[in-house]
Every structure is written in C-alpha cells, then in structure tokens.
C-alpha cells in the first residue's frame, strides 16, 4: 500500500500597505510577500469605539480586494493612536504634528493596530493594543524631531523606532511591533492557522 501525500501549498502573501515599517516587519518575520496597493477611503461612521474604528478601516481595505485567488492571502492593517478616547490621526502639517506630540508628552496613550486577512476562505480580523508612556518632552525636542524626521505619514505623528521613541518613551505595556504597525506575534499565529 502506498501513501499518497498532498503537496504543501504555500500561499502567496500580499501586503496591501505602502508602509515601509510594515514591509520591514514582514521581511524580518521571514515572510515572502508582494505589495499591492488599492486606493481606499479611510473614513468611518461616528460612534465607533477606537478598536472598532481600526477594525472597520482594516476590513474596508481588505474588501477592496474583491477577487482573491485560492493560493493568496491579503494582509491589510490600520494603526491608530488614542489618548483620552480621542483618535489622533496622521498630522496634516508641522503645526498639527507639534500639537499632537504636545498632547502625548508626559502621558500614556494607546496604539491599536487592526489586521485583516482575506483569502478564498473568507475574511478574518483581529487587533492588538499597546500602552505607550511618553516622558515630558520639551518644545525644543518636539521641534527637533519634526524637523529631522518624517512624522507626517505616521499615526500620532511619531514612530517608536525614531529618535523621539528612543529618547522619549519611558515604557510600553504590550507588543512593540504593534506600535511599529503590525502585531507580528498575533499575525504569525493567525497566518499559521490559515
């Protein structure tokens, strides 16, 4: 009697994000992927809780992929920064970035990243939350960061891996990579299940 084994099909991972930080995290995880971008309106209905907003937008990004092949898994994500139940988006200009960073200075805030995985089997979504504690930042430190870094493309106007994260964050409670833009431990676990 011969044993017939089913060949292992390794799915093609598609990352629907232009974020260089998310791309770097997937590379560090040893995942081969390609980037496919779709234009998605990131507005959301009023009355949602912060984690529901992140999930809503991640799912909206996933639904932009109306056809997913049998051997494909599309990964979409959305990261938001929350202080006092107020969602702080990406800054519109340098003055707005200064205002956001001043709000975060000397305080705790939450970073929530929601991820959606869409395949021929359907849509699966999850999120992670990390508490981030900033020390009191001086006006000079905030202005230096804005002038030397790129806070405009980041929720909350900062990157934890940037200079301001290195000198200004006292502690975090939860996943570091979640703050960068992808909760890699949870993502790996969910991809393994698929």
Identify the burial level of 30 via C-beta atoms within 10 angstroms of its C-beta, where 0-12 means exposed, 13-18 middle and 19 or more buried. Answer: exposed
Please confirm, yes or no, whether 78 is among the known catalytic residues: yes
Q: Which residues contact 60 (CB under 8 A, 6 or more apart)?
A: 40, 41, 42, 44
User: Which tokens hold the place of 139?
Assistant: 């006006």
Q: By three-state DSSP, how is residue 69 classified?
A: coil
- 72 within 8 A of 107, measured Cβ to Cβ: no
Could you say which of 78, 85, 128, 153 is catalytic?
78
Identify the burial level of 39 via C-beta atoms within 10 angstroms of its C-beta, where 0-12 means exposed, 13-18 middle and 19 or more buried. Answer: exposed
Cross-strand pairs, 33: 13
Backbone angles phi, psi at 80, to 5 degrees: -130, 155
Active site residues: 78
């Amino acid at each position: 009697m011969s044993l017939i084994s089913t060949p292992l099909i390794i799915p093609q991972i598609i990352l629907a994000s232009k974020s260089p930080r998310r791309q770097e995290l997937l590379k560090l995880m040893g995942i081969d992927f390609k980037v496919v971008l779709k234009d998605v309106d990131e507005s959301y209905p009023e009355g949602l809780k912060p984690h529901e907003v992140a999930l809503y937008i991640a799912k909206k990004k996933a639904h932009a992929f109306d056809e997913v092949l049998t051997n494909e898994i599309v990964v979409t994500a959305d990261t938001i920064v929350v202080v006092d139940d107020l969602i702080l988006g990406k800054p519109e200009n340098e003055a707005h970035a200064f205002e956001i960073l001043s709000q975060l200075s000397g305080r705790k805030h939450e970073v929530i990243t929601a991820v959606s995985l869409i395949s021929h089997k359907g849509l699966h979504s999850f999120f992670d939350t990390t508490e981030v504690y900033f020390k009191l930042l001086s006006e000079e430190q905030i202005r230096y960061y804005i002038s030397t870094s790129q806070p405009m493309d980041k929720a909350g106007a900062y990157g934890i891996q940037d200079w301001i994260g290195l000198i200004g964050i006292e502690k975090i409670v939860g996943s570091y990579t979640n703050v960068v833009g992808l909760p890699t431990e949870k993502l790996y676990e969910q991809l393994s299940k698929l």
